[in-house]
Structure 1
Amino acid sequence: MLGENATIEVREGEGLNIEAVDAALKANVDGLSGTPSVTQYPSGNSNLTYAIDYPDRRLVLRRPPFGPLPKAGHNMFREYRIMRDLKPAFDQVPQTVFYTDDESIIGKEFYVMDRVDGPLIHKTIPPEWNWNADDTAQLGENFIDALAKLHTLDWKALGLEDFGRPEGYVERQILGWNKRWDKAWTDGITRFDDVQKWLEDNMPAESGNVSVLHGDYRVDNAILKAEDPRQIAALLDWEICAIGDPLMDLGNTLSYWIEASDPAPMHMMIRQPSAAPGMPSRREFAQRYGEKTGYDVSDIHYHFVYGIWRLAVIIQQIHARYVRGQTQDERFAVMDKSVEALGALARYKIDSGTL
């Protein structure tokens, strides 16, 4: 069906040594038999994801991208561990089955999890679902509620006390993303010094709340339930998860949440069906989240601008890898346009003071 989480043939230059993977899995995962096939998930601009299909079990493998990597980036164990440790209290993550840091197998560390069956959707709701605005609204509400649940888990009770440093998280994020921008900047890109200065000058105090942060919370990073796609089956792509101020994570999420009434440049960046009839506005999203968590969202405009800027930096980091010859993926060649659009959007939102 449309919306199925389909795979493609493995892209050139991103192949796996499937024989070595098969041997490692059979030595560590009970019950595997037969010869696996391997295909690749086409989405994602950073870590690479593959379908490893055995005759009677379907698995998913995640590994870092090829080429030089930043020292602290693409940590596969963090992704593996957060899902493993969340699972007892938060069922909306896949079941992890194996992790290894033995780079002799495929050249990098990797982990494997069970595949979660169900649709994954991107910009639009599949028309053959024949949804009305109430169906779409239910998906939006369930999506908000899953984030609220994640942000109110007892992360210490889940054994995640050593997973991050929540103290000073807001300042560390603002200064850190500004520093990453400076390192990733390439000729021809606007500097946006004014955006960076506004974020530093208007930095709010810590909210006092600490939670597990997903870091990339979007509908297109969620597998929906096959029997009822209005519900969230599993959240994917925990690459930049953390422990910190949940309002920073909410700001990131709102930066992706394009509304139907937003100007055309924002719609160019839409990645999920947030503009579909029935979906909540950003303001309604924040309000429901606040009601579910009990957190004060009155200053969420700042976090929203931060989310826009962080996204601009992430995309510039990817674009810089192409410019510097660290990858040949042509998708990254034109990402400078998205960087410019996001920087301009951050300026506009700073001036307007609105979500």
Structure 2
Amino acid sequence: MNKNTNAETRVAEGYDIPAVEAWISENTDYFKPPFIWTRLEGGHSNLTYRLEDPSGKKAVIRRPPMGELLPKAHDMNREWSLIAAFAPHGFPVPEPIGFCDDLSVTGAMFYIMGFAGGRPLFKVEDTLEWVPEHQRTTLAYSFIDTLADMHVLDPDAIGLTSLGKKEDYIGRQIKAWYRSWVASVDYAELDDPRAHEFKDYFLENQPAQVTASVVHGDYYLHNCLFSSDSKVSAVLDWELATLGDPLADLGYTLRAWPEEEDDPYLEPTAPTAVPGLPLRAELAQRYAERTGFPVELLDYYVGFNHWKTAAILHGVYARYRAGQKSTEGVDMEGLREGILKALDGAERAIARLN
């Protein structure tokens, strides 16, 4: 799992340790307390700990952060449903162990999953350190094949019909994020006309949705664990997952993948900013062969995701400027630049389509 931030401890933020360990004893037979609780970083601020029992057997527990949350944020039930649905089909997720919706135990829902070996890749140094150059093609193929395998699973057949609406995924996303852009303009004091032009372009040129798949929503190298052979050992962090257009998920994944050797637009700190990786077009073709989905309009989905990223960053930037979040330690100019860079990426993708 992710790197430790706190060594062995019997204090765990958000958890009543005796109550949780009693619940685990009564409701699972995977391992036995008392546990060593070790904080794990990452995971969209969810409170995530590795548990290790006296025999050395390990698992991971997750609950939402403390404090008041938005209604659909940090949905433990959603994450658990996905892990429990995928595991029996051989898809690489941690083993589902137990889910608790009794808020009296520790004040929030939580779930426990098996501890998956491997490392996530957050930045270029991670890839350079963990993935030797001769294994980087293996990494890329395993990464894209795993996404393809997720997209060809029928949500109805694996019990995920109620995960979300199936129809018009991109149309609904465009309208929602455009509303966010418009609502953020006054505080952001930034209203690039391309945000409006591209919204119209994406709505007017929207391809027909190929099918309704489970879409991860944040499928990238930092949300996968890679074993020492550079293959995906587990996919993590399902809280943004829903049903929708699989090609939108593909566009999100590949938008930050090198399009050419020495790609001048690739962020130098990105985990893909290393030599030896197959290029975007090769991975898209491999995905197409594995799924049967057409990828000729990949740049539409890449462009849409760049535009959506701009809208997300715009909203964050506006909240900072409005004083809703502390700007201490925040690179506000870098955040503003990120909005414009994302719009630049959308512009390049649209240009390739025309």
Confirm or deny: 8 A CA contact 1:223 1:233 kept in the other structure: yes
Paired with 2:12 and 2:233, the residues of 1 have a C-alpha distance of 32
1:212 and 2:214 correspond? yes
Paired with 1:188 and 1:153, the residues of 2 have a C-alpha distance of 41
1:349 and 2:346 correspond? yes
Aligned to 2:17: 18
Paired with 2:47 and 2:196, the residues of 1 have a C-alpha distance of 31
After TM superposition, list the pairs within 5 Å mapping 1:66-85 onto structure 2.
Answer: 66-85=66-85
Deviates more, 1:279-288 or 1:83-92: 279-288
1:9 and 2:9 correspond? no
Aligned to 1:40: 39
Paired with 1:337 and 1:141, the residues of 2 have a C-alpha distance of 32
SS in 1 for 2:161: coil
334, 337, 345: which is aligned to 1:340?
337
Paired with 1:351 and 1:130, the residues of 2 have a C-alpha distance of 30
After TM superposition, list the pairs within 5 Å mapping 1:148-187 onto structure 2.
Answer: 148-182=148-182, 187=187
SS in 2 for 1:187: helix
Confirm or deny: 8 A CA contact 2:128 2:274 kept in the other structure: no
How far the C-alpha of 1:148 sits from its partner, in A, is 0.9
Aligned to 1:136: 136
CA displacement, residues 116-160 of structure 1 (integer Å, 9 cap, x when unaligned): 12233332355566823x411111111111111111112221122
After TM superposition, list the pairs within 5 Å mapping 1:65-104 onto structure 2.
Answer: 65-104=65-104
Paired with 1:349 and 1:298, the residues of 2 have a C-alpha distance of 17
Paired with 2:59 and 2:339, the residues of 1 have a C-alpha distance of 36
CA displacement, residues 101-125 of structure 1 (integer Å, 9 cap, x when unaligned): 3333333222221111223333235
Confirm or deny: 8 A CA contact 2:25 2:33 kept in the other structure: no
Paired with 2:15 and 2:221, the residues of 1 have a C-alpha distance of 28
Aligned to 1:107: 107
TM-score calculated relative to the size of structure 2: 0.84
AA aligned to 1:289 is: Y
How far the C-alpha of 1:310 sits from its partner, in A, is 2.8
Q: CA RMSD in A?
A: 3.2
CA displacement, residues 36-77 of structure 1 (integer Å, 9 cap, x when unaligned): 222222224443422222223212122223333222222111
Aligned to 2:309: 311
| Residues 96 and 42 of structure 1: CA distance in aligned 2, closer, same or farther (over 3 Å) | same
| Residues 348 and 207 of structure 1: CA distance in aligned 2, closer, same or farther (over 3 Å) | same
1:28 and 2:27 correspond? yes
Aligned to 1:262: 263
Paired with 1:277 and 1:177, the residues of 2 have a C-alpha distance of 35
AA aligned to 1:137 is: T
Q: How many percent identity over aligned positions? A: 33
Confirm or deny: 8 A CA contact 1:195 1:347 kept in the other structure: no
AA aligned to 2:289 is: E
269, 278, 281: which is aligned to 1:280?
278
CA displacement, residues 330-349 of structure 1 (integer Å, 9 cap, x when unaligned): 66x33662353243332353
SS in 1 for 2:160: coil
AA aligned to 2:264 is: P
| Residues 34 and 69 of structure 1: CA distance in aligned 2, closer, same or farther (over 3 Å) | closer
291, 307, 319: which is aligned to 2:289?
291
Paired with 1:154 and 1:8, the residues of 2 have a C-alpha distance of 38
Deviates more, 1:119-128 or 1:216-225: 119-128
Aligned residues: 345
SS in 2 for 1:97: strand
How far the C-alpha of 1:242 sits from its partner, in A, is 1.1
Paired with 1:76 and 1:219, the residues of 2 have a C-alpha distance of 22
Paired with 1:103 and 1:144, the residues of 2 have a C-alpha distance of 38
| Residues 130 and 167 of structure 1: CA distance in aligned 2, closer, same or farther (over 3 Å) | closer
SS in 1 for 2:33: coil
Paired with 1:251 and 1:211, the residues of 2 have a C-alpha distance of 14
Confirm or deny: 8 A CA contact 1:153 1:211 kept in the other structure: yes
AA aligned to 1:143 is: F
Aligned to 1:58: 58
Aligned to 2:244: 244
Confirm or deny: 8 A CA contact 2:314 2:339 kept in the other structure: no
SS in 1 for 2:341: helix
SS in 1 for 2:138: helix
| Residues 182 and 334 of structure 1: CA distance in aligned 2, closer, same or farther (over 3 Å) | farther
After TM superposition, list the pairs within 5 Å mapping 1:190-209 onto structure 2.
Answer: 190-203=190-203, 204-209=206-211
| Residues 189 and 306 of structure 1: CA distance in aligned 2, closer, same or farther (over 3 Å) | farther
Paired with 2:292 and 2:322, the residues of 1 have a C-alpha distance of 46
Paired with 1:336 and 1:19, the residues of 2 have a C-alpha distance of 46
Paired with 2:313 and 2:105, the residues of 1 have a C-alpha distance of 30
Confirm or deny: 8 A CA contact 1:40 1:49 kept in the other structure: yes
Paired with 1:324 and 1:105, the residues of 2 have a C-alpha distance of 37
